[in-house]
Structure formats: C-alpha cells, structure tokens
Chains A and B, each alone.
Chain A
C-alpha cells in the first residue's frame, strides 16, 4: 500500500534543489507520488487539472532537449502554462546577470521555475532570489535531482521494489563521475534508499573522494561487473573536459565501455541504464542500448511521471 509506505509525511519543500538534503522518507514519498502520476500518461486524455492556471517557466541557461521537453510535457499534462526561456537570443547574451534575468522572468507571474545552468549552485542562488518554486534541472557538476529520482524509480519498477527498500541491490555507476551531476544525485538517492553503490571510471574522472558519500570507488570495471544488479552508464561529456582525462576514446571503450563481452560476465538479469544522450559505441554498445536488459526508454517514460510529481508537490507546498 503506497499510502502506508508514505506514512504521515507532509511534503513541505517549495523547491527541489538536490537530493542530498532530502530525508529517506521524502525520497520515498516522491517515488510513491510519481507512481500515482504514471497512469496519467496511459490515458487517452493525458491531462489532469492539478496545475490549471499556474505558470511554469523553463529557464535553461545550458543546452538541453530531453530534460527540457520532459519538463514541458510534464507541466502540460498537469494543465499548467509553460514559458520557454533560453539563454541564446536573450539578454543573458548581452551580459545580464543570472539573478537579474530570473527576477525579470518571475515578474511575469511565474509559479515554478525550472532552472538548468552550467554553474554548480545556480538553482540555489535563484531560489534565494525569487518567490516562486525552483526546480533544479541540473547545475554544473552538482546535482540533477529529477534524473536521480527517475533512475531510482526505474530500478524500483524493474527490480520489483514497490516498497522503496533497495537493500540488497548493488548499483554500479560507470564513467565520468567527477564531472557528473547525474552520478551525485544517483549516489545520494540510492544510498538513502539502502542500495550499495559503486562508482567506476578512469582515475582522472573518478576521484577517491567519492568515498565520503558512502560508496565504493574502483577503476577496474571488470573486477566488479559480475556482482552488480544495475549498471548505470554515464555519458562521456566531451564538452565538460578541459584537458585530456584519458588517452583516447578507443582506450576508454576498451576499459570502461559496456560491450557485449562485458555484459556476458554480468548477472543475466542485470539492468542497464543510461541518462542519455548516448555516445553509441563509446560508453555503451548499440545492441545493448536497444536490448532486453536496457531500461533506457523506460527511464524517459518514468522521467515524465517523476517530473509531474515534483511539479505538483512543490506547487502545493508553496500554496499552503
């Protein structure tokens, strides 16, 4: 019974800036709420009136298509009006500061601002300067909370953990851990739910300092691949690397790519995740991405339910 696992928790946060500050109960509540929203997308009329008359603005100061579209559709399915704001072609390119820009957007009468920015802490800075709700859609290498939640929700769904108890599940996150907000949000979310998490990547991209978050750190994929239940393959973010973090793409694939050979050594029912967009043939083989163990398209579908849940909860929290 979802209502029981939720206990008597009342969601009081008007913003979602990261998963690190959330309690285990709050994360469970978010996943249970997302479960309630999943059904909406299966209807012939894929819309509910929960946010009718509210305005959601996508304030994306960094490129994004899938996260932005997912938030837009989620807001529309809740009957909200959506404004798209992009840094290109706006006053940001004329030198306007972030705070001035978001205050100007807010003055139009906005209820929720979905913020993506290349600088860690940007969403928090925005939240401190506006009255409306703020949802972090990725801030630098800090957090991407809705991605962490949708990954957890996909694991809950595929591994049959409707009670949100992830104990006994071993999740391996592979790739550019150091530069990845997805890795951080995943680590916070999964460890709070009771999963064991191992992060893996080249030493230059997978710092031992991650142990402070309660995870194992390894630089040898082959030594851990056989024991895990979930493999989350992160994208190599060529655009974020300022210097060569590994000798060549070919070597990276040899050591850290999810190839057919490697997958054979994993558990037969291992779940393969990827936050997208994929570099096919670099961090993940094409056939694996499209194969039966892949949860990649499910992640996209679940992202919609998770974002509907978050939009709904932060709006309700601000209303009362």
Chain B
C-alpha cells in the first residue's frame, strides 16, 4: 500500500475540533481569482457552459456565472447530479439524494467549465465526465474547484483551483456556502473524508 501517496500517514484527528481555514473574505477572494483566470482564457462574447455539480458545486457555479457575466463572458447555466454515475456508492455512507440534472443547453462544440467545491479522489469528476458524454461532445471541458485537497485516486486534475490545502487523507474538508449553510467557511475536521465527499 506504500504506493498510495498520503495514505501511509495515519493521523488520529479524533479529538480535534473543526478548524476554519478559509473565512468569507478568503472565499470571496478565491472565487474572484477563479473568475479572472477563467475569463482570461475565455474571450468576451464567446459562449461558455458553466456546469455546477450538485449541491455546493452548483452554488459555487452560480457565483462564478455572475462574475463571468460581469466580465463579458456569454455564460450558459447547467446543473449536474452525478450520483447515478458514481462507482463508490456503497463507500460514501448514506445514499445521497438523486436530484434533477438540468443540461438543457447546447453541449456539442461549446466549451464547458465544470465546477465543484472540493476535489479529493477525483471520482465525482470522473462520474461527471461520464454523465456529460451522455449529453454531447463539448469543444473541451475545464475544471474549476474552490479547494484542491489532494489525495487523488484517478489521473484527474483541476485547471483552476481557488486554494490548495494540505490535509491528511482521513481529514474531512467541509465547504459551507451561505446559500446552503448560512455562512461562507471552509473547515478541516475529523471524521471520515468519505462523508464529506
């Protein structure tokens, strides 16, 4: 098992309280930076499908769409639930609710920006890529996340990451956004990481 990076350092976090690593200002700043980076590569007036992965990914995508539209990008909205495409349903604890996907937009030949709150193993993004294939063939797909916490199990990496966090593999990274949780905060806590993702 030694070939698995980060997994050979079991840290007992059982007694550690949740620790806030990003507050509202840092999160707002990170999202601004994401928007600027995306806008730099996507000229004003060009269409861009901005697809949020439910739930927090879509909340983040909604904020990004506003900022991108302000920068002149021709933003289109899509929402993706990847539950039915996951390969680890039995590992992620309580079965997540299946919610409606909404991809009623032109997918073929249009650039796509996929948005999620945290990237960890990469398995949700793999599921998202498979789901998107069922809807069409984008010109290309980029990935934007608020937090990259490492720990990948697949060769998938974000093109835009708001913040990199170095955390032990069993730690839980909680992204809270005020639309869903009444405040903006990124916390590191104990418990199984699988529950958070």
Which A residues contact B (CB, under 8 angstroms)? 2-3, 6, 8, 10-11, 29, 32-33, 35-40, 43-45, 47-50, 78, 309, 312-313, 316-317, 319-320
Contacts and interface: CB of A to CB of B under 8 A. Distances in A.
A45 B130 CA distance: 12
Interface string B108-137: 000000000000000000000011001100
10 contacts: A3-B55, A3-B97, A10-B95, A32-B99, A37-B98, A48-B85, A78-B84, A312-B84, A316-B90, A316-B95
Contacts of B98: 33, 36-37, 309, 312
Interface residues of B, number: 19
Given A45-B135, A48-B85, A316-B89, A8 B94 contact: yes
Contact of B95 (A3, A40, A44, A313): A313
A39 B99 CA distance: 9
B81 interface: yes
A36 B100 contact: yes
Nearest to A44: B135
Given A37-B98, A40-B101, 6 more contacts: A2-B97, A32-B97, A39-B102, A40-B84, A48-B131, A316-B90
Main secondary structure of the interface of B (DSSP, over half): loop
Q: Which 4 A-B pairs have the closest CB atoms?
A: A36-B98, A48-B84, A50-B84, A45-B134
A37 B98 CA distance: 7
Nearest to B99: A36
Contacts, number: 62
Nearest to B130: A49
B85 A49 contact: yes
B134 A319 contact: no
Contacts of A8: 94
B53 to A, nearest CB: 13
Nearest to B101: A39
A21 to B, nearest CB: 19
A13 to B, nearest CB: 12
Nearest to A315: B89
Among B84, B100, B134, the most chain A Cβ lie within 10 Å of the Cβ of: B84
A219 B107 CA distance: 56
Nearest to A49: B85
